[in-house]
Structure 1
Amino acid sequence: MFLRRILFVSLIAFVLLYIRHTWRNLPPASMLDRPEKHLIPATSDPGISFGLIDSIVKIAVDTMLVPGAVLSVYQDGIAIHERAFGYAKRYDFGKKLLAKPDTMTLDTRFDLASLTKVFATTFGIMLLTDAGKISPDMPVSKILPDFTDPSKDSITIRHLLTHSAGLTEWAPIYYHARNEDEARKYISTLPLKYPVGAGRHYSDLGFMLLGYIIEKVSNEDLNSFLQEELYSKLDLQNTSFNPNTDGPPFACTSHGNPFEKKMVYDDHFGFKCDEDPTFFQEWRHYVLCGEVNDGNSYYAHQGMAGHAGLFSTAHELQILLGLLLNKGVYQSKKYIKEETINLFLTKDRFGHGLGWAMSPSAVPVDNLPPGSFGHTGFTGTFAVGIPKYNLGLILLTNRQNLDVNSDGNYNSVTKLRKDVTENLIRMLE
């Protein structure tokens, strides 16, 4: 009996050791048979399920594609993988390599660039719609007094949200305006570039107008409205426009505004501008840390605009993403009606939702499951929600801190986003 007990205990120990050894030496998830349950084990060990994805981001940092990054994956509202890579600030102005660069951390705050369009402005419009104060099909001219050009009478809030209003994609508004009031009046006078509703033409100006609509209807500035009606209720302490310098560190971005300056000076770079490029002489000459990169937000809107200017962390963005994935519910409390969220996350004829990109080619992820939604930001930010797996992915980088290359461009992070997302989805399939 005693010998049998010893043999039994030894057998159990051997099995446990074998399982542990096998688990720790599994090949990347993309090489495994697909599990029946779509739940990735929560782990900080990159050698288990997230080794392949972590290695993709690490290689991007090691090869100087980006100075640093924060990767965050949530499922069912729970963090299942979070990791910071590289540096929040690696270079000082003039591409001077810092002797002691600032390390990236999970709570680093990022300039979200165009993620502002969805995590601030789209949420703002959603809240006002949910409250019955506006509707997506309301004409913009009914709200903004300066929007009186008869050729624009048919433009609705929906057109602005779906980039189909016919507005020009970009213009240096700060050549004509020094504050929001002047910017609103100037944008309202610009002629349309395309027929209303004829096509999707991604436009910063449309989201500037949406920001003005939120302020007009709520009778508050954009940041105050969002703080009172959403961010503070969710206890988001590091999500705001013009963030306080107290608190978590910032991921530093560009060395002034070299990209935008080239857009104005070079007719073959970006969009052709009619302005005299020498008219504006207030270009910044320092590395931006906690100060919005976007020129139209900084110079013409004092850092608070509907298209750019929001700062946040990966964790707090996951809470906002989770609010959408969970149909308006966070910690058992309802903040937005399910029908309102469904309205905003239903594809239009261009294949996108209201504010959110939903086409695999626009996110861009080839194997994106139906119903998924996402957005990118020029500073190197990225977010995608995948309802099929109730999963949120946030990948934030500070690619601009490397400064522009010899062509005047920043390193492209499109492939990095694509590789991370597609491999994550393969792990779930």
Structure 2
Amino acid sequence: MFNNIDSIFKKYMSEDFFTGGVCSISVNGKNVFHRAYGVSNINDKNPCEQETVFDLASLTKLVTSTIILKMNNENVLSLSSRLEDCLPQTKRNKLLAPITIKQLLTHSSGLKAWHSFYSHIPGDTVFNILNHIEITHNKGNEVVYSDLNFILLGEVIKHRYHDSLQGVVQKQLVEPLGLKTLTYNPSDQENIAATEFGNRIEKKMCRERNFYFTNWRDEEVPMIGEVNDGNAYYFFGGESGHAGIFSNVKDIVALGELYVKGGVHNGKELISKELIEESLTVQVGKRGLGWEVSDIYPEGFGHTGFTGTALWVEPKRKLTVGLLTNRLNVAAPKNVNPFRKEVFNDILKDI
């Protein structure tokens, strides 16, 4: 089974889509495929290993949404809770106050796609900045994928638990699921895949939007163990609801398995089956609760990360797939969606 995955990896690595990666496939909670390819760092040629840790980028959003679902399950909040009820700082903002948790999870809040928080005056708070950001599209019935939605969900989590995101993730997910590597700001810098050579892509985005920022990281060396995302790194100190989580493929697959198993881990219900099913049901556009439907995934739901990561679940087949690459650790980063789609379709043929 899965004999074509090796050749698919080799083909895309030969065309400089990425220099290394890992693929792990789980069926009904049992690992049936786990291989590493290429190198984790184009500079020192360290081999990519099965346990190599990656900057998950926007797969962090699935960590955040899972914690939000747990909070819902424990009646800490509901999907219909409004921001003004969850974050006192939003009560005076007529645009932010009525936004619901569900609208944030489904990217239907009306908030714009991206904003460089780090280009503002040092010390300015996320809420001061958001006071100057307008709703840009129809709230509730139009989807615009936006980091701002999950930045706000991260703030909700911190406020409700009176703890850092790392503290909450550790207590609510890492410990219950027995995860070994999933963390913000990894202290162990060994065996971490490299990402971009400085924030070249975000620098261009800022220039195009007339955002001013000068304290960019060195473009001569790749980032290793530092979150690639600019807002997460420069503004939030590595911990945000939209980006910042690092993990090996085994741990992120374990998160996906929680959904495939209906919210149960080792016989204990962490999230109700009904809420899990709702999260894996299209709510608006092509969005579930944190999850996405797209042609990248032949069936089921998934999510991707800017650094070259992806997680795919197909509950009917009890299938979970983690696909992590270092697509930014090349001279000229490319869109790896064709690679993801090819791997996922090949896997489905063998299940």
* Structure 1 equivalent of residue 271 of structure 2: 336
Matched, 1:284 2:284: no
* Structure 1 equivalent of residue 346 of structure 2: 423
User: How many Å apart are 1:81 and its aligned residue?
Assistant: 0.5
Kindly indicate whether the alpha-carbon contact (under 8 Å) linking 1:168 and 1:203 is maintained by their aligned counterparts in 2: yes
* Structure 1 equivalent of residue 328 of structure 2: 400
In the TM superposition, 1:132-151 aligns within 5 A as 132-147=75-90, 148-151=92-95
* Structure 2 equivalent of residue 308 of structure 1: 243
User: How many Å apart are 1:201 and its aligned residue?
Assistant: 0.3
User: How many Å apart are 1:176 and its aligned residue?
Assistant: 1.2
Distance 1:65 1:184 in 2: 38
Q: Helix, strand or coil for the counterpart of 2:41? A: strand
Kindly indicate whether the alpha-carbon contact (under 8 Å) linking 1:178 and 1:299 is maintained by their aligned counterparts in 2: no
Kindly indicate whether the alpha-carbon contact (under 8 Å) linking 2:106 and 2:284 is maintained by their aligned counterparts in 1: no
* Structure 1 equivalent of residue 105 of structure 2: 161
Distance 1:308 1:355 in 2: 13
Superimposed CA distance per residue, residues 113-134 of structure 1 (whole angstroms, 9 cap, x where no aligned partner)? 000001x210110111111010
Q: Percent identity?
A: 35
User: How many Å apart are 1:178 and its aligned residue?
Assistant: 4.1
Distance 2:121 2:154 in 1: 16
User: How many Å apart are 1:223 and its aligned residue?
Assistant: 1.2
Superimposed CA distance per residue, residues 84-135 of structure 1 (whole angstroms, 9 cap, x where no aligned partner)? 00001113xxxxxx4xx111000000000000001x2101101111110100
- CA 1:316/1:177 → structure 2, altered by over 3 Å: closer, same or farther? farther
In the TM superposition, 1:150-299 aligns within 5 A as 150-176=94-120, 178=122, 182-245=125-188, 249-265=191-207, 267=208, 273-275=209-211, 277=212, 280-285=213-218, 286-299=221-234
User: How many Å apart are 1:199 and its aligned residue?
Assistant: 0.5
Distance 2:192 2:167 in 1: 22
- Residue 217 of structure 1 aligns to which amino acid in structure 2? R
Matched, 1:71 2:71: no
User: How many Å apart are 1:177 and its aligned residue?
Assistant: 5.3
* Structure 1 equivalent of residue 282 of structure 2: 347
* Structure 2 equivalent of residue 360 of structure 1: 294
Kindly indicate whether the alpha-carbon contact (under 8 Å) linking 1:149 and 1:189 is maintained by their aligned counterparts in 2: no
Aligned residues: 348
Distance 1:68 1:351 in 2: 30
> TM-score with structure 2 length normalisation?
0.95
User: How many Å apart are 1:52 and its aligned residue?
Assistant: 1.1
- Residue 294 of structure 2 aligns to which amino acid in structure 1? P
Q: Report which structure shows greater RCO (CA 8 Å, sep ≥6).
A: 2
Kindly indicate whether the alpha-carbon contact (under 8 Å) linking 1:146 and 1:188 is maintained by their aligned counterparts in 2: no
In the TM superposition, 1:21-100 aligns within 5 A as 49-91=1-43, 98=44
RMSD: 1.5
Kindly indicate whether the alpha-carbon contact (under 8 Å) linking 1:384 and 1:393 is maintained by their aligned counterparts in 2: yes
Superimposed CA distance per residue, residues 50-88 of structure 1 (whole angstroms, 9 cap, x where no aligned partner)? 211221012212332210010110111111001000001
- CA 1:139/1:177 → structure 2, altered by over 3 Å: closer, same or farther? farther
Distance 2:83 2:121 in 1: 21
Superimposed CA distance per residue, residues 7-56 of structure 1 (whole angstroms, 9 cap, x where no aligned partner)? xxxxxxxxxxxxxxxxxxxxxxxxxxxxxxxxxxxxxxxxxx22112210
- Residue 377 of structure 1 aligns to which amino acid in structure 2? G
User: How many Å apart are 1:328 and its aligned residue?
Assistant: 1.4
Distance 1:177 1:347 in 2: 39
Superimposed CA distance per residue, residues 245-277 of structure 1 (whole angstroms, 9 cap, x where no aligned partner)? 26x510000101000001111x2xxxxx243x3
Q: Helix, strand or coil for the counterpart of 1:72? A: strand
Q: Helix, strand or coil for the counterpart of 2:25? A: strand
Runs of 4+ displaced beyond 4 Å = none
Alignment gaps of 5+ in structure 1: 1-48, 92-97, 268-272
> TM-score with structure 1 length normalisation?
0.78
User: How many Å apart are 1:224 and its aligned residue?
Assistant: 0.4
* Structure 2 equivalent of residue 383 of structure 1: 311
**Larger Rg belongs to:** 1
- Residue 401 of structure 1 aligns to which amino acid in structure 2? N
